[in-house]
Amino acid sequence: MRQGNPIRRAVRPLLAAGWLGASLLLMSASPVADGQPELVAHRGASAYAPENTLAAFDEAVRLGADWIELDVRRTRDGQLAVIHDESAERVTGTAKRIGGTDLAELRQLDAGFSFRGGAQHRSDDSRASGAAAVQRIPLLDEVLERYAGRIGLLIELKDPALYPGIEAQVAERVKPFLGNRLLLQSFDLGSLERLRRLLPEARLGALIGEEAAAEFADGDWREQARSWDYVNVQTTLLDRRLVKLLHEEGALVMAWTVRSPEDRQRLASIGVDGLIMDDPRL
C-alpha cells in the first residue's frame, strides 16, 4: 500500500525559503510518486454497503482502498458517533437528531435501513460482508480499534460548532493511533486550528468546496496550502494549475467526490494525491 508523506512538515520551511532540493524531496515523498493517486473509500465503500458502517469499512479493506473516510458527530450523552448527517433519518428512516439523542437510543436504529430499500444498493458482484444485515451506528473508538494500522483513516469532524469541545474529545481518542496513517479534516478552519493546538503532531486537512472558494484568489489557495497538510477540494474546482499551485506551497491534494471513470481519469492526470470515491473500483 502506498504510504503518506510523513516528512512534509519538515520540508515546509525549506519550501518557504525556495530551496530546490526541498522541492525535489517533497516530490519524491508524494503519494503519486508512482503515478497513481491513493484511493479513499468515501464513508467506506458506500456503493456496496451502508455508508459509515462497519460493513462499508470492511468492504473498503476487501476492495483494496488505501483509506476510508468517515464522519464524526457527538451524541447527547457525549459519545463520538460515526454518521454524516445531524439527523439519522436519511440512513435509518427515523428522525432523531444526533446531538439530541443518547447513544443507546441511536444504537437501536438500523443504519442500513435506507440503503437496502434505496436505489443506491449495488448487487453486481458485491460481497460486502453484512450489507444485507442490520447495521448499527459505529463509535469512533470502534473504528480506530478495528482499522488503524490496516488502512488509512480520514476522519472528518462534521459541523463541530454544534458540539463545543469536540476537538478535545477527538484528539484524546486519536492520539494513541497517530503512529498509523491518520488524517483529521473539516470544513471548519477554526476547528482545525483548535485541533492543531491540541494535537500538533497530527496531520490536518482543510475541506474546500465551491461555496467557500467562490471568491478565492490564488493568494487564498496559497494560504490554505501553507496552513494545512492536505487541501481536499471539490472535484469541479480542480485543474492542473490549481493542483500545481497547492503542491508548490507544500500541501497534498485529495479530490471529492469522484463518481465517474471520466472524473477519475481526469483528476489522476492532473496530479491529485488522493481520490475520494463511493466505489473504489470505479
Active site residues: 42, 84
Contacting residues for 71 by C-beta, under 8 A, at least 6 apart: 43, 52, 82, 83, 84, 156, 158
Q: Which residue has the cell 460515526?
A: 82
Classify 78 in phi/psi space as left (phi over 0), alpha (psi -120 to 50) or beta. Answer: left
Of 85, 93, 147, nearest to 116 (Cα)? 93
C-alpha cell at 15: 519550501
List the one residue out of 72, 69, 46, 182 whose CA is nearest residue 137: 72
Taking residue 55's Cβ as centre, other Cβ atoms within 10 Å add up to: 26
DSSP state of 236: G
